Amino acid sequence: MKKSILLLPIFFLMLFSCSDAYDIRQDNELEDPEAFTTLQHLISGLNGAYAAYGPDFGGDAIIFNDLFTDNIRKGKSNNGQGSEEYNFLMQPNSDMPESVWGNRYATINRINRVLRAYDRLYPNFTTAEKRRADHAKGNLLALRALCHFDLFQYFTVDYKNAASPSVIKMDFVPANTFDVFPRNTVGEIRDFIKQDLTDARALLVANLTLPGETAPPADIAAYNTVMYLRPIAIDFIRCKLALLEGDYPTAQTLATTLMASTPLSNRTIYPQMYGVTDANGESIFKLSRVLRNNQLASLYYFNYNDSGTPIDPLFYGSLQLYNLYSNADIRKTVNFGGSNDVGRGEIPITKYMGSNDGDGINDVKLFRASEVKLILAECKARNSDYLGAATDIQQLRAARISGSNPLPTYTNLNEALTDILLERRKELAFEGHRYLDIKRIGNEINVGINRLADDAFTFSAPTSLPASDYRFTLPIPRSEISANPTIVQNPNY
């Protein structure tokens, strides 16, 4: 059966939704007036939208960014998993475009249904209920902006060309399941994301703590934590969007403010963020993962021993990545703290080995202060403040590497961006960044994928791919192309 953008959510909601009381059904299963009748139903719909958002689901961003590039090599228990991505085989029916397109639009579909119910129910709420509903709406708009931002990053060829095609803006629930829509322009998508973020931030700030209150009510305070898109998380998205569109003054201003409120975690706290306590540390926004929820370790392993430790690796860390870290670097311990046999190329990935919530279960750290620090360094470099950029990189390294951390020397933008891209690789490994980082920066400085031959050999794969290659933008999925005659495919697919 052909599936348009509105049919994809049906499949992905069935695939990814939780078996809980707040699942949102489609119109042909349960009409919205029946599904949403109270404020608590709206809150449950908000919870369901957060649960549906899945960059850590199989085939999605977390694993893809490292597998397609140069941070992973084949594990000894791998039977071909990931070989297509590692061999740069990217087609409209590949897992990654289908996963990102389907998951984000399914989540957007949930959000829009809850927002539609909000509009219907809001006039009959009490004053207290309206405040809670408005705070929930702020979360919904922020999450809708984040989903569109994900789509924008992966499916847009040129972030800075306002007239070029981007993705489909969805700010409503279509009247017909088989309705189809063309791609909006880059400028339209950027403006839409910005407006959603502006509206979301205003609602969250206005309804958090009212004049005369010393603290927000408990039911609002519960949604003002690192697990939700608070104003600081909204500012993070604004900062990254400004970076992508080349508005470096705005990105630098936002990054400076963010760093003032969320400092870098030190060498003691940093490993706790990925350990049994899943400490918040420098996290600005993370996805909560608990028992029977998604397991990050399952992206890299398919089995556990009797003590609950992940074994049977599908993927190892690449020898090239491993060699980038000194032994004094706490990131080496966190990423590769297992029993390594480097001579045999067996380098277990240990960043997500489990927490108090269960074996292999770790919260997904999406926004961190360290990335803000890297954005700040990049903005300064683009403003020819090479000393300022070098100082930011030195400060990040000092938070991760014991002993002396010399001040880097940058004499031009190319040198600065090359070192910043390297530091992004080390700092954000296995967190869903490498592919997008090469796409955004690599072509500018002529740095693409350049694997060690020893790593590439494990998958009998090519060693290199230039950053100018068309595959650094994902194809529109075949399911959408087949059902939507108004859609235009990205070049070369």
pTM: 0.93
State which residues of the chain have pLDDT below 70. Answer: 1-31
Q: Are residues 485 and 394 in the same domain?
A: no
Tens digits of per-residue pLDDT, 384-434? 999 999 999 999 999 999 999 999 999 999 999 999 999 999 999 999 999
Q: DSSP of 190-213, one letter per residue?
A: HHHHHHHHHHHHHHHHHHHS-TT-
The pLDDT value given to residue 32: 76
Query: Which of the 8 DSSP states describes residue 94?
Result: S
Q: Which pairing describes strands 315-317 and 72-74: parallel, antiparallel, or unpaired?
A: antiparallel
The DSSP bridge partners found for residue 74 are 315
| pLDDT at residue 9, as a whole number | 39
Q: How far apart are CA 475 and CA 313, in angstroms?
A: 29
Q: Which residues contact 467 (CB under 8 A, 6 or more apart)?
A: 438, 439, 441, 442, 443, 446, 447, 448, 449
pLDDT tens-digit series, residues 139-156: 999 999 999 999 999 999
395 and 321 in a single domain? The answer is: yes
**3-state DSSP helix/strand/coil percent for the chain, to nearest 5?**
50, 10, 40
Q: Which amino acid is at 53?
A: Y
What's the rounded Cα separation, in Å, for the pair 202 and 73? 45
Cα separations (Å) of 325 from 75, 422, 426? 20, 11, 8
β-bridge partners, 348: 316
Residues facing 358 on adjacent strands: 355
Is 41 contained in some domain?
A: yes
Residue 30 confidence (pLDDT): 55
Does some domain include residue 440? no
* Co-location of 163 and 32 in the same domain: yes
Same domain for 370 and 319: yes
| 408 and 480, same domain (yes or no) | no
Q: What is the pLDDT, as a whole number, of residue 31? A: 65
Nearest to 186 by CA among 216, 151, 217: 151
d(CA 437, CA 269) in angstroms, rounded, equals 26
Tell me, yes or no, whether 6 lies in a domain.
yes
> Per the domain annotation, does 182 fall within a domain?
yes
Question: For the CA atoms of the chain, what is the radius of gyration?
Answer: 22
Looking at the structure, do residues 71 and 192 belong to the same domain, yes or no? yes
Chain position carrying tokens 């070192």 = 419
Question: What pLDDT, on a 0 to 100 scale, did the predictor assign at position 21?
Answer: 26
Is residue 62 assigned to a domain?
yes
Residues 169 and 273 in one domain: no
Q: What is the number of structural domains in the chain?
A: 2
Residues 67 and 185 in one domain: yes
* Residue-range definition of the domain harbouring residue 384: 255-431
**Domain stops at, among 387, 405, 431:** 431
Contact between 455 and 476 under an 8 Å Cβ cutoff? The reply is no
Return the bridge partners of 359, or none: 354
Which pair of structure tokens corresponds to residue 57? 């689901």
Assign residue 492 the CATH number of its domain. Answer: 1.25.40.390
* Per-residue model confidence (pLDDT) at position 291: 79
Same domain, 426 and 479: no
> Can you give the pLDDT at residue 160?
97
Work out whether strand 315-317 and strand 310-313 pair parallel, antiparallel, or are unpaired: unpaired
Q: Are 189 and 168 in contact (CB under 8 A)?
A: no
402 and 492 co-located in one domain: no
Q: What is the CB neighbour count within 10 angstroms for residue 411?
A: 8
Report how far residue 271's alpha carbon sits from residue 168's, in angstroms, rounded to the nearest whole number: 39
Q: Tokens 């957007």 correspond to what residue?
A: 108
Choose the final residue of a domain: 412, 431, 450. Answer: 431
C-alpha distance from residue 328 to each of 277, 333, 419 (Å): 23, 9, 19
Distances from the Cα of 277 to the Cα of 227, 237, 272, 420, angstroms: 15, 26, 6, 30
Residues with Cβ within 8 Å of residue 398, at least 6 apart in sequence:
405
Beta strands 364-368 and 283-287, pairing class:
antiparallel
The backbone region for 311, taken as left when phi is positive above 0, alpha when psi lies in -120 to 50, beta otherwise, is beta
pLDDT score of 295: 87
C-alpha distance across the termini of the chain, in Å: 22
Q: DSSP E strands: which ranges in 381-453? A: 449-450
Residue 407 lies in a domain: yes
The answer to whether residues 264 and 347 belong to one domain is yes
Residue 232 lies in a domain: no
Domain end (from 381, 410, 431): 431
Which strand (E) or helix (H) includes residue 9?
helix 8-16
How far apart, in whole angstroms, are the C-alpha atoms of residue 313 and residue 299?
Answer: 9
The predicted pLDDT at position 23 comes to 35
Residue 436 within a domain: no
Task: Compute how many other C-beta atoms are within 10 angstroms of the C-beta atom of residue 95.
Answer: 17
**Domain identity same for 404 and 339:** yes
